[in-house]
Structure 1
Amino acid sequence: MRSKIFLYLFLFMSLICLYLVVSSGKMAKANSARVTKLENEINLLKDSVQESNLKVMDMQYFSLENNDDALAYFEHLNIDDPARYIADKLLETNTKKGDNPLVPYEGMQNDFKINKIKILNHKWILTDFSDGKYWGELLIKYELKDDLGVDFILLDHLLYTESN
């Protein structure tokens, strides 16, 4: 009787061991497939991030912040952030009653005001203006003087027509 109990116990333990070996093999295979899938996703994300970085660098090519030669033009003025200073001075032209004096059009719905500003280098600014319904763009030449005053000269402009 005692030998039969040991025999059944041995068979039961053998079945448990067999089950554990088979299931651990399947788990290892599943985990390996999951790791491979995650590695592929990581590689896709790395490519996507690299592509995005290239696009950002491309968009920042024409900007004062990334142009060391243009920034050297302002070194003697001791301004921490020349782009922000010039943008603030340009936005001050919006505070006047009526249309912005740099916009050569009369507002049709409201007054034309400058919305977005892109400082290209130490001489030129590209801006967007709108009255809420109509919009356009300006190319402005500017000069930052030693007394920190800024002169703005309109070089070119366009007003988009409303499309139906």
Structure 2
Amino acid sequence: MKNKIFMYLFIFAALLIVFQYVNSKNIHEANAAKIEDYKSKIVKYKDSVRDIGDRAFGLSEFTLGYSEEALNYIEKRGYESDQVIALIEETLYELNLRAEPHPLIPYAPMTENGKMIVNAVRVLNHKWVITNFNDGEYWGELFLKYNIEANGEITFELIDSFLYPTN
């Protein structure tokens, strides 16, 4: 009888060990598959981050902060690039507050009670600015030349503009 109990315990222990082995092997393989999936995602995301960084660098080429010649010109006049950008943006946004039509936007608002206003400003270098504008429904862009006068006042000259066609 004792032999049979030991034999049953041995078989039970062997089955338990086999079950644990198979279960552990399955868990290990599932985890290894997940790790491989994560590694492939990491490679993909690193490529995406690199591509976004390249695009951001390409976009920054046409800004005042990344143009060495424009920065030198601004600094020789006694200004910092951040000051100039803030001053230009502030001046253009203040023109939005006027009651009469915007002095730089050559288009009349086409919506009822609408007003053409400048929405976004990008200072390209020490002479040029590009902006977009809208009246709530119709959009366009302006290409402006700016000049900082001796008294620190900024003057703008409209070089070109366009209004996006509607469908």
Q: TM-score, normalised by structure 2?
A: 0.86
1:58 counterpart residue number: 58
- Counterpart code for 2:96: N
- C-alpha separation between the residues in 2 aligned to 1:113 and 1:78? 27
Equivalent residue runs for 1:1-164 within 5 Å: 1-75=1-75, 76-78=78-80, 80-109=82-111, 110-163=114-167
Alpha-carbon distance in structure 2 between the residues aligned to 1:30 and 1:41: 17
1:72-122 deviations in Å (ceiling 9; x for gaps): 322222564431221111211112112111112332322322122111111
CA contact (8 A) 2:65 2:81 kept: no
**Cα 1:108–1:27, aligned 2, differ >3 Å: closer, same or farther?**
closer
> 5+ unaligned residues in a row in structure 2: which ranges?
none
Structure 2 CA distance, aligned partners of 1:56 and 1:65?
13
- Structure 1 residues 79 and 159, CA gap change in structure 2 (3 angstroms): closer
Fraction of identical pairs, as percent: 35
In 1, the alpha carbon distance for the partners of 2:73 and 2:110 equals 39
Q: What's the secondary structure of 1:103's corresponding residue?
A: coil
The whole-number CA distance in structure 2 between the counterparts of 1:49 and 1:108 is 42
Give the whole-Å Cα distance in 1 for the aligned partners of 2:19 and 2:46: 40
Q: How many pairs does the alignment contain?
A: 163
Segments ≥4 residues shifted beyond 6 Å = none
